[in-house]
Amino acid sequence: MTIPAEAQEAVKRFGISIEDYMLPVHGQIQILSEDGTILPEDQRGSTPGHQYPVPSDKELLEAYRRLVIGRRVNDQNSALVRQGRLAVYPSSHGQEACQVAAALCLRDGDWMFPTYRDAVAVMTRGVDPVEAMTLFRGDWHGGYDPHEHHVGIQSTPLTTQLLHAVGVAHAAKLRGEDTVVLAMCGDGATSEGDFHEALNFAAVFHLPVVFFVQNNQYAISVPLAHQTVAPSLAHKAVGYGMAGERVDGNDVVALLAVLDRAVSLARAGSGPLLVEANTYRMQAHTNADDATRYRNEAEVQAWAAKDPLHRMRHYLTSTGHLTGDVETAFAGDAEDIAQHLRDGLSAEPQLDPQDLFGHVFTEPTPQLREQSAFLADELSREEPSQKEH
């Protein structure tokens, strides 16, 4: 096995074998119990070289604030779909811990490449909520400038964003930039060819990429058991020569700890890593899906007991960091964003039909010029009353 020198240094630092470094822990890393108490160290699933300290109280309080906002955003966007203000919305209700931790583990200069379900992560990264939702109202563009926020446009085609992430990481390495790329995907994406190509390229070229798989148990209606018989998705990492880890995706404490270390290792030159977060999609795949056709209510309720928001609320309340006043302030922050979404998505966009031709080629082709002129002539023939309408 050919192991880069930087990865060998990480192995030496942890005092374990290269196999133990690459293989995920048995079970999963979990720090916060379902009832909101910190687990004893011997119950966290950790092993030598896979130990994770509890993040600071300041970090956890900010993470909880983001969870509150994320839940409100999910509920508000689902309502906007029913009101016809959004065409579709793939809710991450129940997965907010993954969303928040993904954004908070990165520096400003790092990059994130999200999926269509990662709107909360995109907003947590600093993108205006209305801009993040523009894609889902059916506009012709993604809504925000990826370079301004270092966030790729939310990818609707399955898994293509992983290749984009690897490309950015490769460019950053060639330029000598201190950049880590977080590439997000779901469990269904691991069945795609692009997943293999991205992981293999990242490993061969030793790139600073953290592949973050949110395993929410279903690829639309296809359960994980029908996609793979691997012990876990995190075990797929070792086949590419990279380290893998599995973490409770509803435990924001564990997620922050695991992703922080993964990003730090990638930044230090240890190569790419894969983190699988075991979570659950509480609501339907999108508003066009009927989840009752492929899963039962008992399964949903079992996962409801693991809600990341409730777990963190109980923990922070018990430590005294979350008071009634603080909770009220966080709820106010969330409601302000919900109001911003309602206002922004209720306003009718001002559309220019010529935009159809303005962003296709740097230099328009003769055919596009001809079509543009034809449209302009048609519009000029409209009656003033029609234009106003």
- Enzyme catalytic residues: 281, 285, 294
Name every residue whose Cβ is closer than 8 Å to that of residue 336 and which is 6 or more positions away in sequence: none
d(CA 167, CA 160): 11
Tell me the C-alpha to C-alpha distance, in Å, between residue 183 and each of 31, 74, 161, 199, 264.
24, 22, 7, 10, 15
3-state secondary structure 143-192: CCCHHHHCECCCECCCCHHHHHHHHHHHHHHHHCCCCCEEEEEECHHHHC
Name every residue whose Cβ is closer than 8 Å to that of residue 346 and which is 6 or more positions away in sequence: 85
Q: Which residue is it, tokens 């926020």? A: 149
Both tokens assigned to 59:
């970090």
Query: Do 312 and 243 touch, CB atoms closer than 8 A?
Result: no
From first CA to last CA, the distance across the chain in angstroms is 69
Both tokens assigned to 325:
């006043």
d(CA 25, CA 138): 42
Burial grade of 99 (CB within 10 A; 0-12, 13-18, 19 or more): buried
